[in-house]
Structure 1
Amino acid sequence: MVQVLERARLAAGDAIFSRVAGPDAAATRSRIHETPGPRWFPAGSPIQRVHGDASMFVGGLRALLLQSWHPLAMAGVAAHSGYRGDPWGRLQRTSTFLATTTFATVDDAQRAVDAVRAVHARVQGTAPDGRAYAASDPELLRWVHVAEAQSFLVAHQEYGRRPLDARECDEYVAQVGAVGRRLGVEDVPRTRAELDAAVEEARPGLVLTDAARDAARFLLVEPPLPPVVRPVYAGLAAAALASLPAWARPGLPEVRVPARLAHPAGASVTRLIRWALPPAP
């Protein structure tokens, strides 16, 4: 029985890891964690605890849902990200960037930042409301940053194996802000209170557009997953939806898990993922 469980764990871990990190997941992981050299952040620091935890599966979904409320950010995603045509590729690029800037050598991390800035310089267009947008716009960069940072932290505090204390939460915000500044974000929040205030300050310009509703349906209800996996994914989706600010939930599609069960479902699925995935080196 123990051997059967171990085989099941390894198979599940390989499936999850390859989906998140891509076909060369093992090589990428080895390069990030095992290449000798200085890092931007010390081992075991808050940013490494947050970004290395299974709660990021909830946090990542929450971040995408929250970011989509900005009409210009959503217009850029809809036109340039390929989230429908290549959702796993987008996930793999994002997860590799986060892992690289959090755990890899300073040279590797800086190359990852430079690559993203080069992409941002090319992403521009016109939103359906007629306004021009550019991914390098400081306002958009700041919104994407604060939505991600708040989402990752909220999910970690709810579902992380070792939640942070108040001082560590502020340290996390400062550390993730250091990466944000390298990406071109201006007026970066330095504490959790400043981070939450920054999200609230953006509310007057936030609108749930048709494109945002379409993206939310894709993320929450129609993920590109086999039917057998969808009930498990629904636990993550319910947890992400329930963890959004109250003002950011109306208008989003309902998921298969009732709201009252969102937290226990999210906790159960997060524990399952943590059990399946191999620990980082």
Structure 2
Amino acid sequence: MSFLGRFLVEQGAITEAQLEDGLRYQREKNRRIGEVAVERGVLSPDQVDVIRGRQDGDPRLFGDIAVGERHLSRRSLDDLLFIQKIQHTYLGEALLLLGHIPRSQYQELMGRHYALRDKSRVSLRYLQEYFAENRVVECLYAAIIRIVRRAIGEEAAITGFGSASRPAAYPEAAVIEGTILGGRRFAACLGLSRPLAARLADRVESADGRTGLAAWYDMVLRSFGDMLRDGSLLLETGRVTAGGLPQEGCEDCLDIRIETPSGEFGLTFWLEEAPA
């Protein structure tokens, strides 16, 4: 049983029947890795059947068998797993889409749910559940940690939701804004602590030879676009404005805090519910 679902039932936000309906919706919408592989053209239906047959006597996961028998490369498997992840329907998203809980109540309860958990590290799964009405912020977060790892070899992790400092409190900041498929506008303000900004500025060099934080922001934007495309979301327009800050009083924004060994990010994210 979903821990989140049980929490929402205990809080009186949804009924047992609504929880079961949400779980049913998840099962219907979510696809196995083999189905994703066939859709992307990297495995044939016959290959998928062979690998699934192997699982009857092999405890390994589908992907591990596919790589072990050279049906897939490790890189291809990683790409498929990422696509499967960003197209995954989470319970919170299912409940919202089915109309079983208002978004405002859901986000309030998710904040309470987080407060009851270990705050030392927050998993990406929690980000997905917290901001379940879209996957755009998930792709941006994945782009940020990918480019941090590539630039300075450090891992980044979410350490706070809602209560994170606004990016205006950070000495270095920029706004990434634009539109995704369908003309929906988004804006993301990314603030950096001084030590982290200095380390990134010193280590980053883009493919065209540019260096510094401006190059790092552009690399994040390009990676963000790649991940949106893989998730069938598509970045229609995008730009970076260095030093920009979001408008105050953004009630529909998500605030998160991301930490690395060198310092901290603050991220404020907003996505338009429908095109203007």
Tell me the TM-score normalised to structure 1 length.
0.26
Tell me the TM-score normalised to structure 2 length.
0.26
Greater relative CO, 1 or 2 (CA 8 Å, sep 6+): 1
Larger radius of gyration: 2
